Amino acid sequence: MFDREECIARALRLNYTCCLKHCEPCPLRTEPAGTQSIVLQFYDERQRYAFMVHCYVRPDRTIGGSGKVDPKSIVADNGIEYLPTY
């Protein structure tokens, strides 16, 4: 259900609003010093919650960890919120 690249591409294409929900220093020792753990929420053009992602942002502004955003939740067209299963 959650296609990482498609959700982000859609958010950019449709000018979704992105809000920083949470930011703290990254707890992973495998990431460079100064890396931040962030959670972003996206809202559609009507300002309805659309989805939330987590990622590690390195000081050089690249995405750390797997190199991809990690989905935390998404709201389907029918209004139901889904959480990923791992």
Domain boundaries, given as residue ranges, for the chain: 4-82
pTM value? Answer: 0.85
What are 22-33's pLDDT values in tens digits?
Answer: 999 999 999 999
What are 72-83's pLDDT values in tens digits?
Answer: 999 988 888 888
Per-position DSSP letters for 19-68, written without gaps between them: EEEEEEE---TTSPTT-EEEEEEEE-TTS-EEEEEEEEE-TTS-B-TTSS
